[in-house]
Amino acid sequence: MNIQEVAQIIHEVKPTLKPSSIKQYISSLRNLFRKYSPNDPLTKDNNIVCINFEFLKDTDKILDIIKDNHITSQRNIITSVLTILNYYNKEHDTINFFNQKVKDLNKLQTQNYQNNIVSENTNFKLKEWSTEDIEKCIIKLKLDKQYQTALMLSLIYHYLFRNEISSLKLIKKSTYDKLTDEDKLKNNFIVKKYNEIFISRGVYKTDKTHGLIKTKIDNKVLRSDILNYIKTMDDDIFFKDSNGIQMSNDLLGKHIGRATTDFKDPIQKNPQYSLGTSSINKIVIESLQLDGIEKLVEISGNRGTSIGTLLHAYYNNYNN
C-alpha cells in the first residue's frame, strides 16, 4: 500500500486530523513495517508503507518492536495502528488489546509524572547535556555551514517550539496583515518587516486550546542569523528537504537528532546523545533558577503549554 492509499484511510477514520499528523501516522506505520519485515524488498521503496496490514495482528511482535521507545512514542505508534484497525473494523480482539495498552501507557505516564520518574535515556541526556552545550552545538553547525539545521535547533532551543516549525513559510508583514484570521490559523509563518521578525503559528499540537500564537524573535544573534538566511532563499519555504520541498516534522527531528549526536559523539555516534524537542525542553527548564517564573511564563506562551504541564513534564525537581 502506498502513501496516498494509507493517507486516505487515515483521513476517512479521522477526517479532522491535520495533514502533519497524517504524515506522522504514515511514518510510524512505515517504520513499524520495516522493523517487522526488514528483509522485504518493499521496505526500500519510500512510497510504500507496507504490503498490507496483516502484520498488525501480531500484537506480541509489535509490542516487542516498540518496547524501548519512550512512553509517548509507544502511545503514538499504537494510536496509528488503531486508526488502521478501526478502518477495517474486523479484528475486534486486536483493537481491544491495543486500546487497553494505550490506557496502560497513559496510566504509567501519569504515575511517572506524579512520582517524578524519568527514563534512563532522559537521565543520560540531562547528565550529558547542558544549555551551554546546546549553544556550542549551534555555533559549530554555523561554522560547518549547516545553517538550516543551526536555525532549527536555535529556534527550538531559544523558544522551545515543537517540530511544527518545519512548516514555516516566509511572508512580508504587509502581506501577512492582509490575510484573514482563518488563513493565519491554517498556517505557520515567519513574518518579516525590515529587520523585525516574528513567528506566527496557527498549526501546532495544542492550537485548538491556545489559538494563534505570535512570538517575537528578540534574540539578537538568532534574528541576525534568520535575516542572513532569508537572503539565500529563493521562495517562501523556510525549511526544505534534500528534494527542495517543505520539510516534514519527522525529518526536522531527525536533522536535530543527528546534529546533536554528531556534536557529542562524532566517532561512535551513540544515539543516546540525540536531542529532541522534549529533551531540549527538559534541559532548558532544569537550568532555570528558582526565580525563573518569568521565563516559564514566556515558555508557556511560546509553546502553547500550561505552566503546570511544563513543571510536571519537564522539571525533575518539581515534586521534591
Q: pLDDT per residue over 199-229, tens digit each?
A: 999 999 888 889 999 999 999 999 999 999 9
Whether residue 252 contacts residue 166, with contact meaning beta carbons closer than 8 Å, is answered with: yes
Instruction: Fill in the DSSP letter of residue 51.
Output: S
Q: What is the dihedral of CA 266, 268, 272, 274, to 10 degrees?
A: 30
Q: Among residues of the chain, what percentage have pLDDT more than 70?
A: 91
Q: pLDDT per residue over 244-272, tens digit each?
A: 999 988 889 999 999 999 999 999 999 89
d(CA 25, CA 180): 30
Q: pLDDT per residue over 85-104, tens digit each?
A: 999 987 789 999 999 999 99
Q: Inform me whether the pLDDT recorded for 289 exceeds 80.
A: no
**Domains along the chain with CATH numbers:** 3-114 (no CATH), 121-314 (1.10.443)
Sign of CA dihedral 21, 42, 245, 161: positive
Whether the pTM exceeds 0.85: the reply is: no
What does the pLDDT read at residue 119? 67
d(CA 9, CA 221): 45
What does the pLDDT read at residue 307? 65
CA 285 to chain centre: 18
Whether residue 55 contacts residue 37, with contact meaning beta carbons closer than 8 Å, is answered with: yes
Does residue 109 sit in helix, strand or coil? Answer: helix
| Residue 58 pLDDT level (bands cut at 50, 70, 90) | very high
Task: Give the chain's mean pLDDT.
Answer: 88
Q: Among residues of the chain, what percentage have pLDDT more than 90?
A: 63
Q: pLDDT per residue over 10-38, tens digit each?
A: 999 999 888 878 988 998 999 999 999 98
Whether residue 214 contacts residue 204, with contact meaning beta carbons closer than 8 Å, is answered with: no
What does the pLDDT read at residue 73? 84
What does the pLDDT read at residue 48? 85
d(CA 181, CA 202): 10
| Residue 52 pLDDT level (bands cut at 50, 70, 90) | confident
Whether residue 20 contacts residue 203, with contact meaning beta carbons closer than 8 Å, is answered with: yes
Q: Inform me whether the pLDDT recorded for 147 exceeds 90.
A: yes
Place of cell 525563573: 292
What does the pLDDT read at residue 320? 42
| Top-confidence residue, 303 or 268 | 268
Q: Inform me whether the pLDDT recorded for 311 exceeds 90.
A: no
What does the pLDDT read at residue 292? 56
